[in-house]
Structure 1
Amino acid sequence: MSSSKKNIWPAYVDMMTVLLMVYVLISAILGSIISTLNDNNTPPNNKVKDSKNEKNVMMPEVKDYFILSNDSLYYNKDSLSLSFSENTLKIDNEKNLLNYLSENSGHKGKWLVGVYIKKNEKISVGAQLREQSVLYLNLIKIMNEKGIMYEEIENRNVAPSDKYNNVIKVKYVKN
Protein backbone atom coordinates (compact mmCIF):
# COMPACT_ATOMS: atom_id res chain seq x y z
CA MET A 1 0.00 0.00 0.00
CA SER A 2 2.75 2.42 0.78
CA SER A 3 4.23 2.05 -2.70
CA SER A 4 0.93 3.00 -4.37
CA LYS A 5 0.73 6.25 -2.42
CA LYS A 6 4.09 7.37 -3.80
CA ASN A 7 3.11 6.72 -7.43
CA ILE A 8 1.32 9.72 -9.03
CA TRP A 9 0.80 8.26 -12.53
CA PRO A 10 -2.76 6.93 -11.98
CA ALA A 11 -3.91 10.35 -10.78
CA TYR A 12 -2.13 12.04 -13.70
CA VAL A 13 -3.79 9.72 -16.23
CA ASP A 14 -7.21 10.32 -14.64
CA MET A 15 -6.68 14.09 -14.78
CA MET A 16 -5.61 13.98 -18.46
CA THR A 17 -8.63 11.83 -19.33
CA VAL A 18 -10.96 14.36 -17.72
CA LEU A 19 -9.25 17.23 -19.58
CA LEU A 20 -9.56 15.36 -22.87
CA MET A 21 -13.29 14.77 -22.32
CA VAL A 22 -13.80 18.46 -21.47
CA TYR A 23 -11.93 19.46 -24.65
CA VAL A 24 -14.05 17.13 -26.80
CA LEU A 25 -17.25 18.44 -25.18
CA ILE A 26 -16.30 22.11 -25.74
CA SER A 27 -15.26 21.36 -29.35
CA ALA A 28 -18.60 19.65 -30.03
CA ILE A 29 -20.56 22.55 -28.54
CA LEU A 30 -18.62 25.17 -30.52
CA GLY A 31 -18.92 23.09 -33.69
CA SER A 32 -22.69 22.90 -33.37
CA ILE A 33 -22.92 26.65 -32.68
CA ILE A 34 -20.84 27.46 -35.76
CA SER A 35 -22.88 25.13 -37.96
CA THR A 36 -26.14 26.79 -36.89
CA LEU A 37 -24.70 30.24 -37.63
CA ASN A 38 -23.94 29.26 -41.21
CA ASP A 39 -26.90 30.65 -43.20
CA ASN A 40 -26.01 28.66 -46.26
CA ASN A 41 -26.15 24.96 -45.34
CA THR A 42 -23.60 24.03 -47.99
CA PRO A 43 -20.08 23.15 -46.93
CA PRO A 44 -17.44 25.74 -47.79
CA ASN A 45 -15.77 25.24 -51.15
CA ASN A 46 -12.04 24.73 -50.72
CA LYS A 47 -11.33 24.32 -54.43
CA VAL A 48 -9.11 26.82 -56.17
CA LYS A 49 -11.32 29.15 -58.16
CA ASP A 50 -10.58 29.52 -61.82
CA SER A 51 -11.07 32.73 -63.72
CA LYS A 52 -14.81 32.17 -64.18
CA ASN A 53 -17.38 33.82 -61.97
CA GLU A 54 -20.67 32.33 -60.71
CA LYS A 55 -22.43 32.96 -64.03
CA ASN A 56 -19.75 30.90 -65.82
CA VAL A 57 -18.51 33.97 -67.68
CA MET A 58 -14.79 34.29 -68.23
CA MET A 59 -13.32 37.05 -66.08
CA PRO A 60 -10.75 39.38 -67.65
CA GLU A 61 -7.16 38.41 -67.01
CA VAL A 62 -5.41 40.50 -64.39
CA LYS A 63 -2.47 42.39 -65.82
CA ASP A 64 0.61 42.02 -63.69
CA TYR A 65 2.80 44.90 -64.75
CA PHE A 66 5.88 43.42 -63.13
CA ILE A 67 5.53 40.34 -65.36
CA LEU A 68 4.65 42.25 -68.52
CA SER A 69 7.39 44.85 -68.06
CA ASN A 70 9.72 42.93 -70.39
CA ASP A 71 7.44 43.16 -73.43
CA SER A 72 9.67 45.68 -75.20
CA LEU A 73 12.16 43.01 -76.30
CA TYR A 74 9.40 40.84 -77.78
CA TYR A 75 8.13 43.66 -80.00
CA ASN A 76 11.59 44.99 -80.90
CA LYS A 77 12.26 44.68 -84.65
CA ASP A 78 16.06 44.95 -84.27
CA SER A 79 16.38 41.88 -82.05
CA LEU A 80 17.31 38.42 -83.31
CA SER A 81 14.31 36.05 -83.35
CA LEU A 82 14.95 32.34 -82.94
CA SER A 83 12.37 29.59 -83.14
CA PHE A 84 12.62 26.39 -81.14
CA SER A 85 11.03 22.99 -80.87
CA GLU A 86 10.92 20.82 -77.78
CA ASN A 87 13.54 22.56 -75.62
CA THR A 88 16.14 22.93 -78.40
CA LEU A 89 16.96 25.52 -81.01
CA LYS A 90 16.48 24.58 -84.63
CA ILE A 91 19.79 24.01 -86.45
CA ASP A 92 19.57 27.00 -88.78
CA ASN A 93 18.59 29.23 -85.85
CA GLU A 94 21.59 28.05 -83.86
CA LYS A 95 23.84 29.08 -86.78
CA ASN A 96 22.14 32.49 -86.90
CA LEU A 97 22.70 32.87 -83.16
CA LEU A 98 26.39 31.99 -83.44
CA ASN A 99 26.82 34.52 -86.27
CA TYR A 100 25.00 37.22 -84.28
CA LEU A 101 27.13 36.48 -81.20
CA SER A 102 30.39 36.61 -83.15
CA GLU A 103 29.42 39.92 -84.83
CA ASN A 104 28.74 41.69 -81.54
CA SER A 105 30.99 39.96 -79.02
CA GLY A 106 33.92 42.41 -79.25
CA HIS A 107 32.04 45.49 -78.08
CA LYS A 108 31.19 46.66 -74.58
CA GLY A 109 27.53 46.31 -73.81
CA LYS A 110 24.88 43.96 -72.53
CA TRP A 111 22.81 41.18 -74.03
CA LEU A 112 19.05 41.15 -73.62
CA VAL A 113 17.69 37.60 -73.76
CA GLY A 114 14.04 36.58 -73.52
CA VAL A 115 12.30 33.26 -73.99
CA TYR A 116 8.64 33.83 -74.87
CA ILE A 117 6.25 30.90 -74.69
CA LYS A 118 2.64 30.80 -75.83
CA LYS A 119 0.33 29.73 -73.02
CA ASN A 120 -1.06 26.24 -73.57
CA GLU A 121 -4.07 25.12 -71.50
CA LYS A 122 -3.23 21.44 -72.08
CA ILE A 123 0.18 21.78 -70.41
CA SER A 124 0.63 22.81 -66.80
CA VAL A 125 2.20 26.18 -66.06
CA GLY A 126 5.01 24.43 -64.21
CA ALA A 127 5.90 22.39 -67.30
CA GLN A 128 5.83 25.54 -69.45
CA LEU A 129 8.09 27.40 -67.01
CA ARG A 130 10.43 24.40 -66.96
CA GLU A 131 10.59 24.47 -70.77
CA GLN A 132 11.33 28.19 -70.64
CA SER A 133 14.11 27.66 -68.08
CA VAL A 134 15.70 24.84 -70.07
CA LEU A 135 15.70 26.94 -73.24
CA TYR A 136 17.18 29.92 -71.39
CA LEU A 137 19.93 27.79 -69.82
CA ASN A 138 20.76 26.22 -73.20
CA LEU A 139 21.06 29.71 -74.67
CA ILE A 140 23.28 30.85 -71.77
CA LYS A 141 25.48 27.78 -72.30
CA ILE A 142 25.95 28.65 -75.99
CA MET A 143 26.73 32.26 -75.10
CA ASN A 144 29.26 31.22 -72.43
CA GLU A 145 30.99 28.97 -74.95
CA LYS A 146 31.40 32.04 -77.17
CA GLY A 147 33.08 33.93 -74.31
CA ILE A 148 30.14 36.04 -73.14
CA MET A 149 30.13 36.38 -69.37
CA TYR A 150 26.95 35.78 -67.40
CA GLU A 151 27.12 39.30 -65.94
CA GLU A 152 26.69 40.74 -69.45
CA ILE A 153 23.37 38.91 -69.98
CA GLU A 154 20.06 40.38 -68.82
CA ASN A 155 17.17 37.96 -68.45
CA ARG A 156 13.94 39.25 -70.00
CA ASN A 157 11.78 36.14 -69.61
CA VAL A 158 8.08 36.62 -68.93
CA ALA A 159 5.33 34.26 -67.84
CA PRO A 160 3.67 32.23 -70.60
CA SER A 161 0.82 34.20 -72.16
CA ASP A 162 -1.64 34.01 -75.03
CA LYS A 163 -0.20 37.14 -76.60
CA TYR A 164 3.20 35.57 -77.35
CA ASN A 165 4.36 33.07 -79.92
CA ASN A 166 7.06 30.52 -79.15
CA VAL A 167 10.18 32.54 -79.85
CA ILE A 168 13.54 33.42 -78.31
CA LYS A 169 14.66 37.02 -78.65
CA VAL A 170 18.28 38.16 -78.36
CA LYS A 171 19.48 41.73 -78.66
CA TYR A 172 22.86 43.33 -78.10
CA VAL A 173 22.80 46.83 -76.62
CA LYS A 174 26.02 48.84 -76.82
CA ASN A 175 27.03 50.99 -73.87
Structure 2
Amino acid sequence: MTPRYGTTSLRLCDARDESAALVIIDMQRAIDGWGEPSNPDLEANLAELLACWRGGNGHIVHVRHFSRSPGSRRRAGQPGAEFKDCVTPAQGERVLTKHMDSAFVDTDLEAWLRRHGVGHLVVAGVTTGHAVSTTVRHGACLGFSLSVVADACACFSLEDAAGRAWSGEALHRASLALLSGRYATIASTHEVVQYF
Protein backbone atom coordinates (compact mmCIF):
# COMPACT_ATOMS: atom_id res chain seq x y z
CA MET A 1 0.00 0.00 0.00
CA THR A 2 1.28 3.46 -0.91
CA PRO A 3 1.61 5.76 2.12
CA ARG A 4 -0.43 8.95 1.98
CA TYR A 5 0.95 12.13 3.47
CA GLY A 6 -1.14 15.14 4.36
CA THR A 7 -4.25 16.08 2.44
CA THR A 8 -3.59 16.66 -1.23
CA SER A 9 -7.05 17.24 -2.68
CA LEU A 10 -7.33 20.58 -4.45
CA ARG A 11 -8.16 23.33 -2.04
CA LEU A 12 -7.98 26.79 -3.49
CA CYS A 13 -7.00 28.57 -0.37
CA ASP A 14 -8.70 31.76 0.62
CA ALA A 15 -6.62 34.47 2.29
CA ARG A 16 -9.64 35.15 4.51
CA ASP A 17 -9.34 31.66 6.00
CA GLU A 18 -7.87 31.80 9.52
CA SER A 19 -6.92 28.12 9.25
CA ALA A 20 -4.54 28.88 6.36
CA ALA A 21 -1.06 30.35 6.35
CA LEU A 22 1.03 31.80 3.55
CA VAL A 23 4.59 30.58 4.10
CA ILE A 24 7.25 32.48 2.14
CA ILE A 25 10.59 30.70 2.16
CA ASP A 26 14.13 32.13 1.90
CA MET A 27 13.37 35.26 -0.13
CA GLN A 28 16.59 36.96 0.92
CA ARG A 29 18.92 39.36 -0.89
CA ALA A 30 21.59 36.68 -1.31
CA ILE A 31 19.58 35.12 -4.14
CA ASP A 32 20.47 38.11 -6.31
CA GLY A 33 23.92 36.55 -6.73
CA TRP A 34 22.65 33.12 -7.77
CA GLY A 35 21.93 33.94 -11.42
CA GLU A 36 18.61 34.23 -13.22
CA PRO A 37 15.68 32.53 -11.48
CA SER A 38 13.65 30.02 -13.49
CA ASN A 39 10.66 32.30 -13.03
CA PRO A 40 11.18 35.95 -14.06
CA ASP A 41 7.85 36.90 -12.43
CA LEU A 42 8.83 35.44 -9.06
CA GLU A 43 8.95 38.70 -7.11
CA ALA A 44 5.82 40.18 -8.70
CA ASN A 45 3.83 37.03 -7.94
CA LEU A 46 5.09 36.92 -4.37
CA ALA A 47 4.11 40.57 -3.90
CA GLU A 48 0.62 39.79 -5.24
CA LEU A 49 0.18 36.82 -2.90
CA LEU A 50 1.40 38.83 0.06
CA ALA A 51 -0.92 41.76 -0.73
CA CYS A 52 -3.86 39.36 -0.97
CA TRP A 53 -3.01 37.69 2.34
CA ARG A 54 -2.55 41.02 4.07
CA GLY A 55 -6.10 41.89 3.04
CA GLY A 56 -7.50 38.75 4.66
CA ASN A 57 -7.46 36.89 7.95
CA GLY A 58 -4.98 34.17 7.04
CA HIS A 59 -1.62 33.97 8.77
CA ILE A 60 1.66 35.01 7.15
CA VAL A 61 4.99 33.35 7.95
CA HIS A 62 8.27 34.71 6.56
CA VAL A 63 11.03 32.10 6.72
CA ARG A 64 14.67 33.11 6.43
CA HIS A 65 17.76 30.94 6.31
CA PHE A 66 20.73 32.00 8.41
CA SER A 67 23.78 30.03 7.34
CA ARG A 68 26.32 28.87 9.87
CA SER A 69 29.05 28.73 7.20
CA PRO A 70 31.75 31.39 7.52
CA GLY A 71 31.70 33.69 4.51
CA SER A 72 28.12 32.88 3.53
CA ARG A 73 26.09 35.80 2.21
CA ARG A 74 23.18 34.48 4.29
CA ARG A 75 24.97 34.62 7.62
CA ALA A 76 23.14 36.65 10.28
CA GLY A 77 24.12 40.31 10.00
CA GLN A 78 25.17 40.10 6.34
CA PRO A 79 23.24 42.20 3.78
CA GLY A 80 22.41 39.01 1.87
CA ALA A 81 20.53 37.65 4.87
CA GLU A 82 17.98 40.48 4.73
CA PHE A 83 14.56 39.94 3.17
CA LYS A 84 13.98 41.08 -0.40
CA ASP A 85 11.94 44.29 -0.64
CA CYS A 86 9.01 42.50 -2.30
CA VAL A 87 8.40 40.41 0.84
CA THR A 88 9.57 42.64 3.69
CA PRO A 89 7.61 41.51 6.75
CA ALA A 90 5.02 43.90 8.14
CA GLN A 91 4.48 44.41 11.86
CA GLY A 92 2.70 41.44 13.38
CA GLU A 93 3.72 38.96 10.68
CA ARG A 94 5.61 35.91 11.91
CA VAL A 95 9.34 35.80 11.10
CA LEU A 96 11.01 32.44 11.53
CA THR A 97 14.74 31.74 11.31
CA LYS A 98 16.00 28.35 10.21
CA HIS A 99 19.43 26.82 9.67
CA MET A 100 18.40 23.73 7.67
CA ASP A 101 16.36 23.31 4.46
CA SER A 102 13.15 22.39 6.30
CA ALA A 103 11.41 25.24 8.08
CA PHE A 104 10.24 22.66 10.64
CA VAL A 105 13.71 21.50 11.79
CA ASP A 106 14.89 23.09 15.06
CA THR A 107 12.17 25.77 14.92
CA ASP A 108 8.81 26.23 16.60
CA LEU A 109 6.92 26.38 13.29
CA GLU A 110 4.78 23.28 13.88
CA ALA A 111 3.81 24.35 17.41
CA TRP A 112 3.07 27.91 16.25
CA LEU A 113 0.84 26.71 13.39
CA ARG A 114 -1.08 24.32 15.65
CA ARG A 115 -1.47 26.98 18.36
CA HIS A 116 -3.05 29.27 15.75
CA GLY A 117 -5.32 26.57 14.33
CA VAL A 118 -3.57 26.43 10.96
CA GLY A 119 -4.11 23.24 8.98
CA HIS A 120 -3.36 24.38 5.43
CA LEU A 121 -0.10 25.91 4.21
CA VAL A 122 0.30 27.84 0.97
CA VAL A 123 4.03 27.72 0.24
CA ALA A 124 6.10 29.96 -2.04
CA GLY A 125 9.73 31.09 -2.31
CA VAL A 126 13.09 29.56 -3.17
CA THR A 127 14.34 27.23 -4.13
CA THR A 128 11.68 24.84 -5.33
CA GLY A 129 14.08 21.90 -5.21
CA HIS A 130 15.62 22.65 -1.83
CA ALA A 131 13.94 24.52 1.03
CA VAL A 132 10.48 24.69 -0.57
CA SER A 133 10.39 20.97 -1.39
CA THR A 134 11.90 19.91 1.94
CA THR A 135 9.48 22.05 3.95
CA VAL A 136 6.48 20.80 1.95
CA ARG A 137 7.42 17.13 2.37
CA HIS A 138 8.06 17.63 6.08
CA GLY A 139 4.77 19.50 6.52
CA ALA A 140 2.84 16.76 4.72
CA CYS A 141 4.42 14.11 6.95
CA LEU A 142 3.22 16.13 9.96
CA GLY A 143 -0.34 16.03 8.61
CA PHE A 144 -0.73 19.53 7.17
CA SER A 145 -2.44 19.99 3.82
CA LEU A 146 -0.33 22.02 1.42
CA SER A 147 -0.45 24.02 -1.77
CA VAL A 148 2.67 25.10 -3.65
CA VAL A 149 2.32 28.25 -5.73
CA ALA A 150 4.34 27.22 -8.78
CA ASP A 151 4.79 30.67 -10.30
CA ALA A 152 5.78 32.15 -6.93
CA CYS A 153 8.67 29.69 -6.58
CA ALA A 154 11.89 29.33 -8.54
CA CYS A 155 15.10 27.38 -8.99
CA PHE A 156 18.50 28.45 -10.28
CA SER A 157 20.76 26.64 -12.74
CA LEU A 158 23.41 24.35 -11.31
CA GLU A 159 25.98 21.76 -12.27
CA ASP A 160 25.88 18.23 -10.85
CA ALA A 161 28.83 16.14 -9.63
CA ALA A 162 29.30 14.70 -13.13
CA GLY A 163 29.64 18.18 -14.60
CA ARG A 164 26.22 18.17 -16.28
CA ALA A 165 24.42 21.50 -16.38
CA TRP A 166 20.80 21.63 -15.20
CA SER A 167 18.67 24.64 -16.03
CA GLY A 168 16.70 26.29 -13.28
CA GLU A 169 13.53 25.63 -15.29
CA ALA A 170 14.21 21.87 -15.52
CA LEU A 171 14.94 21.66 -11.79
CA HIS A 172 11.81 23.69 -10.98
CA ARG A 173 9.53 21.50 -13.13
CA ALA A 174 11.01 18.26 -11.79
CA SER A 175 10.64 19.45 -8.20
CA LEU A 176 6.98 20.34 -8.73
CA ALA A 177 6.33 17.00 -10.45
CA LEU A 178 7.74 15.14 -7.43
CA LEU A 179 5.54 17.11 -5.01
CA SER A 180 2.32 17.10 -7.03
CA GLY A 181 -0.47 14.92 -5.72
CA ARG A 182 1.36 13.00 -3.03
CA TYR A 183 2.55 15.93 -0.96
CA ALA A 184 0.81 19.04 -2.26
CA THR A 185 -1.58 20.63 -4.69
CA ILE A 186 0.26 22.69 -7.30
CA ALA A 187 -1.45 26.00 -8.05
CA SER A 188 -0.75 29.35 -9.69
CA THR A 189 -0.87 32.77 -8.09
CA HIS A 190 -4.07 33.47 -10.05
CA GLU A 191 -5.73 30.30 -8.74
CA VAL A 192 -4.89 31.20 -5.17
CA VAL A 193 -6.03 34.83 -5.24
CA GLN A 194 -8.85 34.86 -7.84
CA TYR A 195 -11.72 34.49 -5.37
CA PHE A 196 -10.51 37.03 -2.85
- Structure-2-length-normalised TM-score: 0.29
More helix by share: 1
More strand by share: 2
- Structure-1-length-normalised TM-score: 0.31
Q: Say which one has the larger Rg.
A: 1
